[in-house]
Amino acid sequence: MTQLEMARVVALQGDEAVAEAVRQCDVDVVAAYPITPQTIIVEKLAEFVAAGRFGGEFIPVESEHSALSACLGASATGARVFTATSSQGLAYMHEMLYNASGMRMPVVMAVANRALSAPLVLNADHGDMMGSRDSGWIQVYAENVEEIYDRTIQLFRLSEDPRVMLPSAINFEGFILSHDKERVRLINDETVRRFVGRPAPKHRLDPKEPLTFGAIANPDNYYEFRMQQAEAMRHALTVFDETESEFEALSGRRYGAVDAYNTDDADKVAVVNGCAAGTMRAAARGMNSGGERVGVLAIKLYRPFPTGEVASHLRRAKSVVTMDRSMSLGAPSGPIAEDVKSTLRGAGMNQPVTSLVYGIGGRDLSVEDGRKILSLNGKEASPDDTSVMYGVKE
């Protein structure tokens, strides 16, 4: 990054990094409702408002459902919009997630992933976003605070691209990433503003051309509208890549749809999303320096799922272990496992896949756990091919 682009290096919490990015991105309307562990995002933005540092409108809505509804309304006027939530809040706005996507509103949302009730718990797992993974939102997972900051900025470009026009969510584990302070190399305001530009939607609420948004469809055309969304999701793969290239040019930073560590040389590869990727890499590095051959494939872009890249990075592995920080109760295995398994089979690959569940309700994962996971013998750990519930107290 040149002196021109870089502003300064600061220590920020994940939530604070989101707020800073939103402040820089020329957001017109923020509508959000507080929920642990996202509250700091909302509070930080409120501080910016009071200090006259946020140029948009901040609506302290009375619920998450209203938060996304207000964002949808604002987006329809051509405004750039943002919201944030977690867990129960995400579940509360579930109806509107599908609405925002179906109406092709480029809302950007930060989700500080937190396990869903009941029972109630405040700590992280991916159950909240995974429960809404089919809603037609672009979903990105970050593993450190600087990545959260970068992704938030990138998502405005990605969502608002005319080839996409789909809402997107940046996901990061609650408390672990939302609250921990990490080093962030901020980009300066002007550079960010130039990067995101201004939204230019095809349609907006404007008396000069009275349009009707949210009309009723029928069995003759509903399927086709959904097909349009599917196509937009497909385009998102390309636009994601382009966005990252442009972002790399001004920041020197690029993450990829996946991050592959030693997958070309590994016998066993662990596929993981979220911040556990860092832990798994640390474990893998230790094992590899001891003569083993393990790799870690971190999924960063989850929807659209980068099937091509996942398949190519797992091609040489003799076995795969997938790690899910959520449970899909009643399904053969968790969301990541299902997506990876069908990707492999679709690409004609037959390696044994051990599906593993970890970190539920904020259950910690240590480097030692990472080593154990990468050393698992799938057949022993799960003779009947059900998911390994790693770390549960038997």
Partner 1 sequence: MYDLVKGLKELPTEEPLSPGHRLCPGCGASIVVRQVLLAAPKDTVIVNATGCLEVSTALYGFSAWNRPWIHSAFENAAAVASGIEAGFKALGRRGEAEEHPIVVFGGDGGTYDIGFQALSGAIERGHKFLYVCYDNEAYMNTGIQRSGGTPRGAWTTTTQVGSAQSGKPEARKDLVSIVVAHRVPYAATASVSHWRDLMNKVRKALSMDGPTFLHVMAPCTRGWRFDPSKTIRMSRLAVETRFFPLYEVEGGVYRITVPVLSPKPVEEYLKLQGRYSHLFLPQHAPQLMALRRDVEDDYRRLEKLAKLTGQLYASTREVASPQA
Partner 2 sequence: MSWRELEEAAVVRGGTSSAYLVSGWRVRRPVIDEAKCTNCLICWIFCPEPAIVRREGVKVAIDYDHCKGCGICESECPPKAINMVMEP
Scanning 12-20, 163-171, 215-223, 308-316 for contacts with partner 1 by CB under 8 A, the matching segment is 215-223
Distance CA(290)–CA(145), nearest Å, equals 30
Give yes or no for residue 197 binding partner 1 (CB under 8 A). no
The residues of the shown chain that bind partner 2, judged by CB under 8 A, are 102-104, 165, 202-203, 210-215, 217, 221, 223-225, 227-228, 231
Instruction: Determine if 217 is a binding residue for partner 1 (CB under 8 A).
Output: yes
Which position has the token pair 């005319």? 162
- Consecutive H or E run containing 261: strand 258-261
Q: Is residue 377 a contact point for partner 1 (CB under 8 A)?
A: no
Under rule CB under 8 A, residue 60 binds partner 1: yes
Residue 367: partners with Cβ closer than 8 Å, 6 or more residues away: 279, 282, 283, 286
228 binds, among partner 2, partner 1, none (CB under 5 to 8 A by kind): partner 2
| Secondary structure (DSSP) of 17-81 | HHHHHHHHTT--EEE----TTTHHHHHHHHHHHHTT---SEEE--SSHHHHHHHHHHHHHTT--E
What CA dihedral angle connects 99, 104, 105 and 108, to 10 degrees? 90
Sign of the Cα torsion 303, 307, 308, 310 reads positive
Residue 362 near which of partner 2, partner 1, none (CB within 5-8 Å, type-dependent): none
Q: From the CB of 45, what's the least distance to partner 1, in Å?
A: 14
Per CB under 8 A, which of residues 63..102 are in contact with partner 1?
63, 65-67, 69-79, 81, 95-96, 99
In sign, the C-alpha dihedral spanning 317, 259, 301, 64 is positive
Per CB under 8 A, does 56 bind partner 1? yes
Q: Is residue 19 a contact point for partner 1 (CB under 8 A)?
A: no
The Cα 195–Cα 92 span in angstroms is: 33
Answer positive or negative: Cα dihedral of 386, 389, 390, 394: negative
Instruction: Give the number of other Cβ atoms within 10 Å of residue 210's Cβ.
Output: 7
Residue 28, contacted partner among partner 1, partner 2, none, CB below 5-8 A by kind: partner 1
**Residue (57 or 182) nearer to partner 1, CB:** 57
Q: Is the CB of 89 or the CB of 378 nearer to partner 1?
A: 89
What is the CA angle 356-268-171, rounded to 5?
Answer: 50
Nearest to 21 by CA among 108, 98, 91: 108
- Partner that binds at residue 165, options partner 2, partner 1, none, CB closer than 5 to 8 Å by kind: partner 2
Nearer Cβ to partner 2 (45/76): 76
Polymer length of the chain:
394
- Which member of 198, 234, 254, 345 binds partner 1 (CB under 8 A)? 198
- Count, residues near partner 1 per rule CB under 8 A: 46
Contact 80, 28 (CB under 8 A): yes
DSSP 13: E
* Contact track, partner 1, 100-119, x by CB under 8 A: ---x----------------
Among 55, 197, 252, 332, binds partner 1 (CB under 8 A): 55
The region of 198-206, 240-248, 268-276, 320-328 touching partner 1 under the rule CB under 8 A is 198-206
One residue of 4, 51, 215, 329 binding partner 1 per CB under 8 A: 215
| Residue 336 binds to partner 1 (criterion: CB under 8 A) | no
Residue 203 or 341: the one with the smaller Cβ distance to partner 1 is 203
Burial string for 170-183 (b: 16+ CB within 10 Å, else e) reads bbbbbbbbbbeebe
By beta-carbon proximity to partner 1, the closer residue of 28 and 173 is 28
| One-letter-per-residue 3-state SS of 28-45 | CEEECCCCCCCHHHHHHH
At its nearest, how many Å lie between partner 1 and the CB of residue 213? 4
Q: At its nearest, how many Å lie between partner 1 and the CB of residue 34? A: 14
Of 116-124, 204-212, 262-270, 340-348: span binding partner 1 (CB under 8 A): 204-212
Longest dimension (CA), the chain: 69
Which residues of this protein are in contact with partner 1, per CB under 8 A? Answer: 28-29, 31, 55-57, 59-63, 65-67, 69-79, 81, 95-96, 99, 103, 198, 204-207, 209-218, 221
